[in-house]
Amino acid sequence: MIVFPRQRRGVADPLPASNYLRASELTPWICAAGAYFAFPEYLALGGQILIMVLFALSLDLVLGYAGIVTLGHAAFFGTGAYVAGILAVHGWSEPLSALLAAAAAAGLLGVITGAIVLRTSGLTLLMVTLVVTQLLQEGANKLGWLTGGADGLQGIVIAPLLGAFRFDLFGRTAYLYSLAILFLAWVVARLIVHSPFGRSLIGIRENATRMQAIGSPVFQRRLRIYAISAALAGIAGALLTQTTQFVALQVLSFELSGTVLVMLILGGVGRLYGAFIGAPLYMIAQDQLARDDPVYWLFWIGLLLVLVVMFARGGILGIVDRLWTGTGR
């Protein structure tokens, strides 16, 4: 039995008829807003979840839509995190501008590494993305005077957001800040995905040979989305730094690349909302289960991955889709 990816009854990635919001698309925002009021003691976790949703969303653009299988997305997350942190340590404590700087740095890294990575494919591509991340992590480890090395970067002070909102101990400002940035990123991602450019990415993923034969500049298109995705990942990293006032060396780790990949797979790749389902599920489960049985946590995740690949290839959204089309809607 061979498992085919994207095997669905209907058409893969049907394009919605127009760009107007469907009611179901408001769900994540209602939930996020609701959580703010319903779980005030968990806002720190909530903020981290929002950040991981953003990170997973950025990965979805590259992996789900353009079909680039990378194990090195943490490179951009970590770059954004460190840039924001280093700027803050050196006196640049205004959050929004630092966020932009982090995005620019990560995006630039995306362009440079993308120009290299996207000329390869398959295992070579995977390895190059891995190695680039390792290089960055080694660099961060050794340049302790700049990055704090293995102990992490401390002493980060972030000025009040927009001059008025201080980052309080309860994480309220952090949560709303992350939520607002996530919303903006989502607007951008949604625009891209529904645009002709987004559709051409899907074409590239489905059959790059055909795309080339119809005159599509495949390399350029992939580089563009790679850079955009890198910038978004960098924003997520910077958000983490600004809301936790700390940068750990793990922001550049292979483990983080793997974790965000798992989150995205759980929710469903290439459906825009997989990140919104997978990341919260993973992090809430980890918070609840790993606390009691840290040994078993990874085991269950591993088992879940194996089962998802064998039986539920499209993740949770894939299952929902199958049920939806199965009832003959």
Partner 1 sequence: MNEQPALETRALCKSFGALTIARDIDFRLPVGARHALIGPNGAGKTTFIDLVTGRLKPSSGQILLAGTDVTALPAEKRVKGGVGRTFQINTLFNGLSVLENVLLAVGERHGVAGNMLRHAKTCRAVVDESQALLERLGLGADAARPVRELPYGRQRLVEIAIALALDPKVLLLDEPAAGIPSAESGLILDVIETLPRDIAVLIIEHDMDLVFRLAERITVMVQGAILVEGTADEIAADPRVREVYLGAEQTR
Partner 2 sequence: MLWLRLSRPMDAALSALVSIAFHGLAYAMVLYLISVGLSVTMGLMGFINLAHGVFAMAGGYVAVSLMNRAGVPLVAALAIACAVVAAASMVLERALYARLYGAAELDQVLFTIGLVFMAGAAAKFIWGPLPLPVRLPDYLRGQIEIAGRLFPTYRSVLIVSGAAIVTTLWLAIERTRFGAQIRATVDNRRMAQSLGINTALLFTCAFAVGSGLAALGGALGADILAIDPTYAQEHLVFFLIIVSVGGLGSIRGPFVAALVIGIADTACKYLIPEFGAFFIYAATLAILLWRPQGLFGRTA
Q: Which residues bind partner 2 (CB under 8 A)?
A: 1-5, 63, 69, 71, 116, 119-120, 122-124, 126-128, 130-132, 134-135, 138-139, 141-142, 254-255, 258, 261-262, 265, 269, 295-299, 301-306, 308-310, 313
Distance, CA of 96 to CA of 98 (rounded, Å):
5
CA angle 326, 199, 21 (to 5 degrees): 65
Whether the CB-CB separation of 267 and 321 falls below 8 Å is answered with no
Among 196, 255, 295, 311, binds partner 1 (CB under 8 A): 196
Residues 289, 294, 298, 304, Cα dihedral to 10°: -20
- Specify the residue, 46 or 64, whose C-beta has the smaller distance to partner 1: 64
- Specify the residue, 110 or 171, whose C-beta has the smaller distance to partner 1: 110
State the nearest-atom distance from the C-beta of 93 to partner 2, in Å.
31
State the nearest-atom distance from the C-beta of 300 to partner 2, in Å.
8
State the nearest-atom distance from the C-beta of 133 to partner 2, in Å.
9
Whether the CB-CB separation of 92 and 36 falls below 8 Å is answered with no
Cβ density class 145-183: b for 16+ within 10 Å, e for less? eebbeeebbeebebbebeeeeebeeebbbbbbbbbebbe
User: Could you count the other beta carbons within 10 Å of the beta carbon of residue 255?
Assistant: 9
State the nearest-atom distance from the C-beta of 286 to partner 2, in Å.
13
Distance, CA of 155 to CA of 255 (rounded, Å):
25
Q: Does 322 bind partner 1 (CB under 8 A)?
A: no
- Specify the residue, 38 or 214, whose C-beta has the smaller distance to partner 1: 214
Count of chain residues binding partner 1 (CB under 8 A) = 35
Distance, CA of 14 to CA of 34 (rounded, Å):
30
- Specify the residue, 19 or 327, whose C-beta has the smaller distance to partner 1: 19
State the nearest-atom distance from the C-beta of 29 to partner 1, in Å.
20
- Specify the residue, 33 or 131, whose C-beta has the smaller distance to partner 2: 131
What single letter denotes the amino acid at residue 196?
P
| Per-residue contact string for residues 5-44; x = within reach of partner 1 by CB under 8 A | -x-x-xxxxxx-xxx-------------------------
Residues 173-192 that bind partner 1 (CB under 8 A): 191-192
